[in-house]
Structure formats: C-alpha cells, structure tokens
Amino acid sequence: AQSVAQPEDQVNVAEGNPLTVKCTYSVSGNPYLFWYVQYPNRGLQFLLKYITGDNLVKGSYGFEAEFNKSQTSFHLKKPSALVSDSALYFCAVRDLENNRLAFGKGNQVVVIP
Amino acid sequence: DGGITQSPKYLFRKEGQNVTLSCEQNLNHDAMYWYRQDPGQGLRLIYYSQIVNDFQKGDIAEGYSVSREKKESFPLTVTSAQKNPTAFYLCASSISVAAGANVLTFGAGSRLTVL
C-alpha cells in the first residue's frame, strides 16, 4: 500500500530564510505526488503536483518541490519564507496501481518574524 | 464562485445521537470524498463516491454512512456507532477518481464535538 512520511512535526524558520518541508513516499508503482497547505480551521488548498517530466515543480505562492526518485522524496521548498506561510503542510501520494491517495500526517510550519 | 460548501461549521452532539454533515459542490465534479482529520494523524478517508448513486468505503468507514442522490451533494451521517466522533471533517471533490493526476478541492470543514 502507498504511504507518505513527513518526519518532522514542526518546522521553525525565520522570516526571509529558506523553508524546507520534507516528504518521503512509498508506492508499488509510479507515483503522483502532491503538496497541500491548510490554514487554521480551513480546508486544504492545492500547492503543486508532480506527474512526470521535470523533477523540479513550481507551484503557488512561490513554492517549489523536487522529485527525487532514488531517494523517494518530494521535499517542498521556498527560497524566502513569509510570516503568512505559517500553516500546516500535507504531502500526498497517489499509487497508480490502485488509484488510492494517501496523505502524510502534516508538518506545522512556523515562520518567526 | 465555484467551490464546496460544508455546513454546519461547528456542531455539538450528545452521545447516542446521529448527526448529518452537509457537503455541496457546484464544480460539476463527478467524484466526492469525506475525510476525517485528527491532530497528528493527517487525513483519513471515510467514504468516497465516483458517481451518483454509488459510493465506496474508505479506510475508516465504520460508524459512518453516506448517500449520493445528486451529483452536487454528498452528505455524511455520523452515527451513534462511531465510538470517537469528535474530529474535524473535510469534504472534497475532484473531476473523477480514475484520473490520478486530479487535484482535490476541499471545503472549509465541519468541526464535530461530542459532549
């Protein structure tokens, strides 16, 4: 079965510094990978996805993610964090063999002014 | 504006009562989903529906029921058989289940508290 690991519960970063949120995945076939963001008491919003092609994917709000097949990782990055980036970030993977979508447990990002 | 509307936003329930959470979408999406969110556990799939009058159990369907009588509506009933129903419930939709690259659109959620 497909699964996602987000190893850190919380990521603290100073405003203006680079932000990285880690994600590793496990699937039996080729993966579709997604990042979503959730602000307090709200639903999830789509940030970006990897389907195929270029390993570096650019998404909303200046975020990007790099697909690394050998390390089975899909880390989310932003060159310069904003206080407004403080939120809960979810990585998700869809296994194309069974078409099921699995979410990670989420990473709380705190950007310190 | 197209989107998903969930209601109520907050709901309190006494033990032993059934409650129904509403989810309506005007995106013309075929697929709809219900997720449960608990702190530190991520999202867990309760039920999903690929088409009207059809739905399948997800990973934690016990104690829940759904219906899909209309394309735009996918209500979730939390029954008294659900042993720990206090949680944040999220409804989502996508163009279809079959297309793996499809992005989910989420509602704002409903927070259920059992007193």
Identify the residue with better confidence: A98 or B86: B86
| Ranges of chain B whose pLDDT falls below 50 | none
B84: Cβ–Cβ under 8 A, 6 or more apart, which residues? none
Q: State the pLDDT at residue A107.
A: 95
Integer angstrom CA distances of residue B39 from A88, B44, B65, B88:
11, 11, 23, 9
Report whether the peptide linkage leading into residue B8 is cis, meaning its omega lies within 30 degrees of zero.
yes
Cα angle at A3 between A7 and B37, to 5 degrees? Answer: 75
What is the average pLDDT value for chain A, to the nearest integer?
92
φ, ψ (nearest 5 deg) of residue A83: -55, -35
Q: State the pLDDT at residue B1.
A: 57
Whether A56 has a pLDDT exceeding 90, the answer reads yes
Q: State the pLDDT at residue B99.
A: 67
Q: State the pLDDT at residue A27.
A: 87
Instruction: Write the DSSP symbol of residue A60.
Output: G
Radius of gyration of chain B (CA): 13
**Contact residues, chain B, for A29 at CB < 8 Å:** none
pLDDT tens digits, B94-104:
987 666 678 99
Note whether B114 contacts A: Cβ–Cβ < 8 A.
no
Residue indicated by tokens 């690259």: B101
The shortest C-alpha distance from A18 to chain B (Å) reads 24
- Classify B13 as helix, strand or coil: strand
Q: State the pLDDT at residue B10.
A: 95
Q: State the pLDDT at residue A41.
A: 80
Q: State the pLDDT at residue A98.
A: 67
B92·A32 Cβ contact <8 A: no
CB atoms within 10 A of CB B107: 25
pLDDT tens digits, A23-53:
999 988 888 999 999 998 888 999 999 988 8
